[in-house]
Amino acid sequence: MTEKNVLTAIRDALHDEMSEDDRIVLLGEDVGARGGVFRISEGWVMEFGEQRVIDTPLAESGIVGVAIGMALHGLLPVAEIEFADFIHPAFDQIVSEAARMRYRSNGDFGCPLVIRAPCGGGIHGALYHSQSIEAYYGHVPGLKVVLPSTPADAAGLLRSALADPDPVLFLEHKKCYRAVKGEVPDGRYTTPIGLADVKRQGTDLTAVSYGYSLHLCLDAADRLHQDEGISVEVVDVRTIAPLDKQTILSSVRKTGKAIVVYEDNRTYGAGAEIASTIAEEAMFDLDGPLVRIGGPDIPAMPFAAPLEHYFIEPEPDHIYRAMRDLARF
């Protein structure tokens, strides 16, 4: 085991996979000479060559479109979108082409494509470098959407994404990149796509989350246990689509209470689907109201530090108090 942050875990896993499989091609804005905006591919253009680490024009639709063509001709492309906020010009390529390739060909063609995109706020990125986009794409059948929260999961899920025969949108929360550290197993391993993980065992209530919000839940759960002896089980969704309903419902049925926490705008966010699943399939197992905490319904994350903090962490003790009140209900 080696301690790494999320950024290093992703870099190492992708580098090792590219070293082992020359079909893997990385393409995106600034991934070559600059090494990517977060320096994940720094030095790789010299190591792997310009045909495998490709600097592209500022055209996300073109990046994904070219990657789809590569996938259909035997390569394993990793299309890097510099920030998830800029992915929208490629929406049609992702939704109408990549995600529907297997369905429209009656299973004759797959589209083994990984689209990496740094997402989320908390790094003072303001309106155009802080968006949470998982709900837009989690809605699309044929597309897997992954959002790891820890270094070990990031590396394992990235390897699984590269091995998947269909397109995977691999979202990386920027706040987690350097702030979150953890032990990563040495050697090659994979983490299954579509399987949630119980990051903290508990008996009094279940908190379901992902991304940076997961770590806010873990912190609140630890404090509640120390302050009041309340035991919170924390479930990391890890994969937005397909959603691991079994792990979530099993935890909720065990504790009898559920709170869903996510950073995206509260209305129609991925957390709404999670909450709906709990309401539909475990309503009569609940001993209290189903609680949902999401980001405020404003157009974008503000630049001003106090307002940014309010968006990503509405109040320092907001999650803590919501968990405490639910446990006491």
Q: Tell me which residues are annotated as active site.
A: 129
Give which of 194, 212, 233 is closest to 327, Cα–Cα. Answer: 233
What residues are paired with 173 via a beta bridge? 119
- Look at residue 114 and give its three-state secondary structure: strand
E strands, 131-268, in order: 144-146, 168-173, 181-184, 197-200, 205-209, 232-236, 239-241, 258-265
Q: Cα dist. 98→52, 71, 268, 270 in Å? A: 21, 9, 24, 21
318 burial (CB, 10 Å; 0-12 / 13-18 / 19+) is: middle
219: CB partners within 8 A, 6+ apart? none
**Size of the chain, expressed as the number of residues it contains:** 329
* Tokens standing for residue 117: 């995109």
